[in-house]
Amino acid sequence: MKTSLETLKGLTKSLTVDLPIDTFNQKTDKILQKMASQVNIDGFRKGKVPVSVVRKRFGNNANSDAINEIVNETLTDALAQVKVAPVAQPVISKINSEDEKNFSYTVEFEVFPEIKVADFSKLAIGQTKVEITKADEQRTLDGLKEQLTEYKAVKRKSKTGDRLLIDFKGLIDGEVFDGGEAKNFKIVLGKGSMIKGFEEGLIDEIPNSKLVLDLTFPKDYHMNKIAGKAVIFEININEVGAPQEPKLDEEFAKKFGEKDMDALKVSMKVQMKVEIDERIGHLNKNAIFDALSEANQFDVPQSSIDNEAKNLLKETQEHMQQQGLPVQAQGKIPVSTFNEEAQRRVKLGLLINQISVDSKLSASMDQIDEKLQEMSQTYGKDAQKMIDFYNQDPTRKSSIELLVVEKMVQDLILDKAKVTFKQKKFQEITQQLNGY
């Protein structure tokens, strides 16, 4: 067997394998003989069909089968001979079975890039710190109160803190924009969940009144199509509801699964710490890996990007299904939407793997169990169930092992990079911007 390896473009390789023509002919004859013993052809008894007749009738099929068998039997050795490992299954691009002396086939495939990781000491990385204050704890407790706050319909004018039920229609250039219409929409005045001027325009209004707000979407609005555009909202106020705040007593605590207010406050603080640590962890990890990715430029296998993009699409579709969105809406999402994120993930995966190999990083079972305990804190009362799920099948811990090694890589980079820390407020990190 002779092999010839050629670089086509980027990470794409072409491998040609040459074999004696007898290899192909003998393989084809063997397949035809087997077919002759099995096929039914008019005028011949089963098992008595001459090979020449079978060749005339099924020769092309036998050739294809012979080619596939030869490729399957020889490709692994051929790849080992040229010392390359394909990212994905090679694709046959050329076959030559007409030569008198040689049979050859050519396959194309991508290989993983050779990565020489840039010096960590040259990386400049920003990291975020957060300190939970008493004011943060009070705001969180107020949020729990809000969850149990009920609203009673009143006949007076609306004010900050009231919950309104409204119908609204948003018009841009006289047309309702996508998602710009709702019925019996609930809005608590003063929460800042809508664009500037919307909630302010609903103050001092009585139930069953109508009004028009002439506003403008912010230039940095998250929907590019309507960012910076003038909009007219036609609004009907169906109800003004005054808040009926609950008492902070034992009954209040029990509704959140705690025996009394002291236990609730302790639990609340623990959950606040877990939540902020998780969010800060994501922010800081992204800052580290963004700097790492920027400092290391190399080609990423397109086949890996395609596979990861399909995985991201599947995750998105499953999430949409959980949210009750129709299957038709899911089908409209092109897989190419996820190419950029897929490329980022594949590239970082290659970098992290290379760093772990270069630095001989591996996760011990104690480190994996410690990470499992940490992750379980977000499951509340179901924490032990989560731990038991992973312990029932050791192979399930492989994903946690990757997280541990990933954290080891982060720590290794931070130990050598130029790191600056910025203090941010708890509320700044946890606040979510919803609605308009």
Task: State the maximum Cα–Cα separation within the chain, in Å, rounded to a whole number.
Answer: 99
Percent over 70 (pLDDT), the chain: 97
What residues does CATH 1.10.3120.10 cover in the chain? 120-131+251-430
Mean pLDDT score, 261-271: 94
Mean pLDDT score, 4-23: 95
Mean pLDDT score, 299-308: 95
Q: CB under 8 Å to 186, separation ≥6 — which residues? A: 163, 164, 165
User: Are the beta carbons of 414 and 117 closer than 8 angstroms?
Assistant: no
Yes or no: is domain 150-244 CATH 3.10.50.40? yes
User: Are the beta carbons of 228 and 221 closer than 8 angstroms?
Assistant: yes
User: Are the beta carbons of 79 and 86 closer than 8 angstroms?
Assistant: yes
Tell me the pTM. Answer: 0.72
Calpha distance 264→113 (Å, rounded): 53
User: Given this model, what pLDDT does residue 330 score?
Assistant: 53
Rg (CA), the chain: 33
pLDDT band per the 50, 70, 90 thresholds, residue 435: very low
Yes or no: is domain 120-131+251-430 CATH 1.10.3120.10? yes
What residues does CATH 3.10.50.40 cover in the chain? 150-244
User: Given this model, what pLDDT does residue 178 score?
Assistant: 87
Q: What is the CATH number of domain 2-110?
A: 3.30.70.1050
pLDDT band per the 50, 70, 90 thresholds, residue 430: confident
What residues does CATH 3.30.70.1050 cover in the chain? 2-110
Mean pLDDT score, 363-368: 93
User: Given this model, what pLDDT does residue 318 score?
Assistant: 86
Residue pointed to by tokens 């020889």:
74
Percent over 90 (pLDDT), the chain: 77
Q: What is the pLDDT of residues 163-187, one digit of tens each?
A: 999 999 999 999 999 889 999 999 9
Q: Does the pLDDT of residue 432 top 60, yes or no? A: no
Q: Does the pLDDT of residue 320 top 90, yes or no? A: no
Q: What is the pLDDT of residues 372-418, one digit of tens each?
A: 998 888 787 788 999 999 988 888 888 899 999 999 999 999 999 99
User: Are the beta carbons of 193 and 182 closer than 8 angstroms?
Assistant: no
Q: Does the pLDDT of residue 331 top 70, yes or no? A: no
Q: What is the pLDDT of residues 192-229, one digit of tens each?
A: 889 999 999 999 999 999 999 999 999 988 888 899 99
